[in-house]
Chain A
């Protein structure tokens, strides 16, 4: 028995020594660290991360595309604080707008802020994982806080369908007898787990595994895989009707929530850029093409300013053969993708007949 105990102690000593060595080594490298969820879930998504914290972002096991930055007073990734009531142009979107992988000056909001004639401040309100339902919530919070003059919403693949998913910590459109209702699924975690997560969250090894490697224990379990398969097995007719309803809800509610007229709201629709690089790389879309087409049609009818980025990207790629993202590692836009989107949004909001918003 003593022998077995001794062997176990020696084994654990080896484990501990290696964990310490890895932690020390990773502290010398640009591991994704520094971004912590804000404490007030009722203020989410406007107040996203903890305010005024430096962070490092990198992607993949190789720690590619390392970037350093800082959160502002709203926990958004920007090198300056946002001022309440400042009547800005807001740029709303998911991780594309959050844009951890780009320097601030290379983002849509960064570019727009430097364009001629844009005298208002431009505020990026991007939160990774958001979808159209969250955009509605964000629009309401931003309206109350900043009274924005104009807005840009970036709609990427998945934003329509994911609005229906009931996920902890996020807004979703719940089916009720009166139609879809915007609902927050509050995040609830046992305080003990929260404390553990906070303490291990400072470990670079933990951050490397969860942020860079995207390791998630539940995703390995058979139960998770079954749930995923079930979720994917939704009949297509039901899905189409639901996605149309999401589009309706979003377009109908957005002006009221944001306090901005549709002609001062630019909707930018991302496309399948990999299919432009090589048709063999075209991937199945999460949002039905019909729902996307419906969004374009209905938004135009309601007077929104809208740009489908796909033909624009295709044209640019034909001319210059340059990627708009970190292909093949990361599909998020790079500086070029953001610049083209900013130019398009600028045209829509500031260079259209009918004038400046």
Chain B
């Protein structure tokens, strides 16, 4: 079930919310939590009922293994405890490996060894990467004594909680379990509820208007036959369109998840913080898919040794982390290259920072405006180039786009601009005019410019909500806030309905990260 569908907005969500607070009002908090868990399983099963069993089995096995790890740890049987952790992690990775990577490895083996093994079509259960990583983190924390969850209902809810189940944010038990146990969670709060609805609206707007609005300009470039040589003015706007589509699609989804959860008085961690405003690639990864970055840092990079064994080892760890991060997104060489590129960017960034601080003696904490601007532009361009691999359906398609961006296939101006530029600079420079199949014309230029302006110039969702909370609401007083919340709910419900209708007018529009 998609957050932007009629059945979710007018069916699932109202029923889930209503019953949750009805059960909560009677003081039956465990029942309310159980209801939310069951509703989440229904939400998951609506996509494909067969995989409910897989999800439930994964939750049950991990819960029991987590309990086992805790018991062994409490009994000071550290060797057995470690063995059980290894087995539990292997179980999770095995599940993920089978569903997500089996065909990739077999295909790669066939390619390298010239064999002809076939596994058949394995359907990827939606959200498997997310619920697997969430549970691996829980197991590792149980092993380290940081997690002590005994309540199976809360554990079920922690993993299956519908706002995050399909595409994150990737949760950490320490930020969720206390909220599930807190009695205040089960009290309806109109201010929280309306803030949740506000986030839902912002996320829906990002998805339906911005991401899906620019989406028509992506396909003609990325899905073009590689034999069609994309020119400069086709490749760049196409790559920029995808860069913006992905950001608004995924951050829109995350905002919706945060908003939906807030309606139940549960705070989810933030996942985006204006990543395209980052002035270096290190900062980019602190702003993009923040919960995945946190997971990769805490459970992979640090486990590999982090920066504790010298500079070279640190760079190798970074590269390994990013390569695996790339592979996490999808079973394909495109994702490996994308991860590798980011590993390389991060390595260069760390080496450059080291060089500037130690050799040039620069103060890295006080960048100049020019330096910062150049950093933002350079970081953005590097990210755009890497996204080409992320989206392209094949390596030849990716290279075709990159060659076009580099101007290797020439610069041709669209013929419809000929009348405007015939006497202008382009004619003087001798630039040819022609039919550009993969260029959306002035509309595409306007879309890209507008979305870049939003990404670079406007505050993000949490900054907007933060300003509302710190600057506007305190001036109104509690009674006015309460009244305003009800009116805001009314106004937002109209806007949300309109956005859902706009979405419905275009057919099914899935979120990009559902593929991962």
Contact = CB atoms under 8 A, between A and B. Distances in A.
A209 B501 contact: yes
Given A209-B498, A321-B437, 17 more contacts: A10-B490, A11-B487, A13-B487, A14-B487, A14-B489, A14-B491, A15-B491, A15-B493, A17-B487, A18-B490, A18-B491, A22-B498, A60-B505, A61-B506, A213-B501, A213-B504, A329-B216
Given A22-B498, A213-B505, A215-B501, A322 B490 contact: no
Contacts of B490: 10-18
Contacts of B498: 22, 209
Nearest to B493: A15
B10 to A, nearest CB: 9
A151 B489 CA distance: 57
Contacts of B435: 320-322
13 contacts: A7-B190, A10-B483, A10-B490, A17-B487, A17-B490, A18-B490, A18-B492, A18-B494, A19-B494, A61-B505, A209-B498, A213-B504, A320-B435
A62 interface: yes
Contacts of A19: 494
A318 interface: no
A214 B505 contact: yes
Interface string A310-342: 000000000011100000110000000000000
A60 B435 CA distance: 25
B6 interface: yes
A196 interface: no
Interface string B478-516: 000001001111111111001001101110000000000
A101 B501 CA distance: 22
Contacts of B505: 60-61, 212-215
A233 interface: no
A16 B494 CA distance: 9
Interface in A74-127: none
A220 interface: yes
Nearest to A208: B498
List the 8 shortest-distance A-B pairs measured between CB atoms, nearest first.
A14-B490, A14-B487, A10-B486, A18-B491, A15-B490, A14-B491, A18-B494, A213-B505
B213 interface: yes
B454 to A, nearest CB: 16
A62 B493 contact: no
Nearest to B499: A61
A62 B213 contact: yes
Contacts of B488: 14
Contacts of A215: 501, 504-505
A328 B216 contact: yes
A260 B213 CA distance: 48
Given A15-B494, A18-B494, A321-B437, A10 B487 contact: yes
A61 B502 contact: yes
Contacts of B216: 328-329
Contacts of A328: 216
A320 B489 CA distance: 53
A13 B486 CA distance: 9
Nearest to A209: B501
A236 B496 CA distance: 42
A14 B496 CA distance: 13
A213 B491 contact: no
A88 to B, nearest CB: 35
Nearest to B220: A328
Contacts of A13: 487, 490
B74 to A, nearest CB: 50
Interface in A1-35: 7, 10-19, 22
A306 B437 CA distance: 32
Contacts of B494: 14-15, 18-19, 22
Contacts of B486: 7, 10-11, 14
B501 A11 contact: no
A212 B498 CA distance: 12
A20 to B, nearest CB: 10
Q: Which of A215, A321, A329 has most B Cβ within 10 Å?
A: A215
A16 B491 CA distance: 8
B509 to A, nearest CB: 12
A19 B492 CA distance: 11
Interface in B426-475: 435, 437
A91 B504 CA distance: 34
A203 B324 CA distance: 55
Nearest to A17: B491
A293 B73 CA distance: 78
A61 B483 CA distance: 32
Contacts of B437: 321
Interface in A176-225: 209, 212-215, 220
Contacts of A214: 505
A18 to B, nearest CB: 4
A22 B494 CA distance: 9
Contacts of A17: 487, 490-491
B212 to A, nearest CB: 9
A21 to B, nearest CB: 8
